[in-house]
Amino acid sequence: MSTTIDLPPDVGAPFFEGLRDGCLMLQFDRGNGRAQFYPRPQSLWSESGTEWREASGRGTIFALTLSRVGPPHLSDAVPYPMALVRLAEGPRMLARIHARYDDLAIGQAVEVDWSHPDSRRAFPVFKPAR
- Residue-range domains of the chain with CATH: 13-54 (no CATH), 58-128 (2.40.50)
Q: What is the pLDDT along the chain (130 residues), one digit of tens a residue?
A: 455 545 556 889 999 999 999 999 999 999 999 999 999 999 999 999 999 999 999 999 999 999 998 888 888 888 999 999 999 999 999 999 999 999 999 999 999 999 998 888 888 999 999 8
Instruction: Kindly report the pTM of this predicted structure.
Output: 0.88
d(CA 59, CA 110): 5
Nearest CA among 14, 67, 20 for reference residue 37: 14
What would the pLDDT profile of 113-130 be if each residue is shown by its tens digit? Answer: 999 988 888 889 999 998
